[in-house]
Structure 1
């Protein structure tokens, strides 16, 4: 009997070890994908020392890079490196991100980094802020969407200076706060809207955002539209468009919209680690469909991302 128990224990340990070694799932929260010259660059919340980066040419095979795209000490922040976003202006790459519950902007000559600041400091806004997203409009003006931690997580927008060094106005304009039923299913005293992403299609601006606490199984994605980058914003009547009801995964939210090489729109997001555990959150993508000006998730398009050998 004792030998049988030893054998059983050894088999269980072997199975667990095999599962761990074959689990190639990418574990980045608050993910974003930047696309350039046929390569997809994936970043997200996942390291205490900065931001990891993965690359792919087909959205299937993802290569992790051993060097962080941004490393603590090269730019603002000592902890809480969250929610990066990458964009290119002229011949320079920029990263907006959260650290120490403030927003900072670093730059690099490569999307792989290293992203650094010549002068280490956050943007000039009072209070606490997280989840930046920078949008460039057709007139060349830049807008910094972000979440202010004041009476809940509330989405604001401010103009950026032309050189992208700082905000041009510190007051900002409020865009979205949690008011709809789906946005606060726990009836929390600190309601949450966060993870803004903005895109323009024709004359209409689309603001994608997540609502509920990220630990809530009902964490989900909706969107609102406006005639200008600063609003006023009108919520889509069929929100949320991405949730556990159509992904079959708890905590589906907080990501970014991107377009693949074939012109297909996608949303990259995170989910809870499992039905019973939030961390470490898993990274996935879903296809989006735009029909008559309304976005929906393409059924059956949900897919987790997996990594290959490190570079």
Structure 2
């Protein structure tokens, strides 16, 4: 169900007490568009959670923010921007004492920049791990979902990085991206998007494994697809329920929708290890 009808791509929702904050790719509300809700249905604009950009980024090219409550009164935002030094996308991290921001990135350089693999995008924290995608489709090479441990403060990576999955199913086209990891009953569920974000073929896939590093077995066909090109999801647990947050185009105007990608939220149920997005 569409819950916010304006341009709000790559949405991520953070629950803090009884308030929900939604963050999205740059748009009318600023570098990191931010909304607030008490019920996941009615959303009000808050503004820009990242109003000041570090020198390594590119204004107007700030994408896919995800936020984690690292400790009381300390929130970390992982986000993507274009890095002029390499000509590719890269991942940064910013912090704030408040969930709605303002967030500040004090680093003179990106957290992740795989220029030799096309760049890095779509960072997603999971406990003391960070997942992301190398932007291989930008240079005609494979795209991988990577994972690497974070330092205790969440501001740097430590140890080796691991490749989890790449594009290898027909429906995935040239890429996989937008990872989101969920643990349930000792099993680890990796959600991801694939194909081209601005086409109706964009969809959400799923894989499951015994640890945060897998090995992951893909479910096969997408778990969410449709003419609006739904994708870039996250899973939000609220009480006894799970909610599936994602974006989609207006299916009657794919590729030319003046509203852009809008935020949708559906209930997510489970049949064993199989996630089911409710209509």
* TM-score class normalised by the smaller sequence: 0.7 to 0.9
Indicate which of 127, 131, 142 corresponds to 1:145.
Answer: 131
Name the CA distance, whole Å, in 2 between partners of 1:41 and 1:72. Answer: 19
Tell me which residue corresponds to 1:176.
Answer: 165
Tell me which residue corresponds to 1:119.
Answer: 107
> Structure 1 residue 45: deviation in Å?
1.0
Q: Which has the higher helix share?
A: 1
Tell me which residue corresponds to 1:18.
Answer: none
> Structure 1 residue 125: deviation in Å?
4.2
Tell me which residue corresponds to 2:38.
Answer: 57
Tell me which residue corresponds to 1:250.
Answer: 228
Q: Provide structure 2 residue ranges, at least 5 long, that are not aligned to the other structure.
A: 83-88
> Structure 1 residue 71: deviation in Å?
1.7
Name the CA distance, whole Å, in 1 between partners of 2:114 and 2:154. Answer: 18
Q: TM-score, length-normalised on structure 2? A: 0.87
Tell me which residue corresponds to 2:16.
Answer: 36
> Structure 1 residue 228: deviation in Å?
1.2
Please say which of residues 280-289 and 119-128 is displaced more in the overlay. 119-128
Tell me which residue corresponds to 2:254.
Answer: 277
Q: Secondary structure of 2:106's partner?
A: coil
For the 8 Å contact 2:224–2:230, the answer to whether it is kept is yes
Tell me which residue corresponds to 2:86.
Answer: none
Q: What is the correspondence of 1:194-213 to structure 2 with a 5 Å cutoff?
A: 194-213=177-196
Summarize the Cα distance change of 1:216–1:277 in structure 2 as closer, same or farther, 3 Å threshold. Answer: closer
Q: Secondary structure of 1:182's partner?
A: helix
RMSD (Å) for aligned C-alpha atoms: 1.9
Name the CA distance, whole Å, in 2 between partners of 1:221 and 1:177. Answer: 14
Tell me which residue corresponds to 1:78.
Answer: 58
For the 8 Å contact 2:11–2:64, the answer to whether it is kept is yes
Name the CA distance, whole Å, in 2 between partners of 1:206 and 1:175. Answer: 12
Q: TM-score, length-normalised on structure 1? A: 0.78
For the 8 Å contact 1:47–1:81, the answer to whether it is kept is no
Indicate which of 245, 265, 269 corresponds to 1:289.
Answer: 269
Pairs aligned (count): 258
> Structure 1 residue 74: deviation in Å?
5.2
For the 8 Å contact 2:200–2:254, the answer to whether it is kept is no
Larger Rg: 1
Q: What is the correspondence of 1:89-168 to structure 2 with a 5 Å cutoff?
A: 89-91=70-72, 92-100=74-82, 101-127=89-115, 128-136=119-127, 142-150=128-136, 151-168=141-158
Q: Provide structure 1 residue ranges, at least 5 long, that are not aligned to the other structure.
A: 1-23, 137-141, 185-190, 301-311
Name the CA distance, whole Å, in 1 between partners of 2:144 and 2:198. Answer: 17
Give deviations 1:131-185, integer Å, cap 9, x for gaps.
000100xxxxx1110010231432111111112111114x52111111112212x
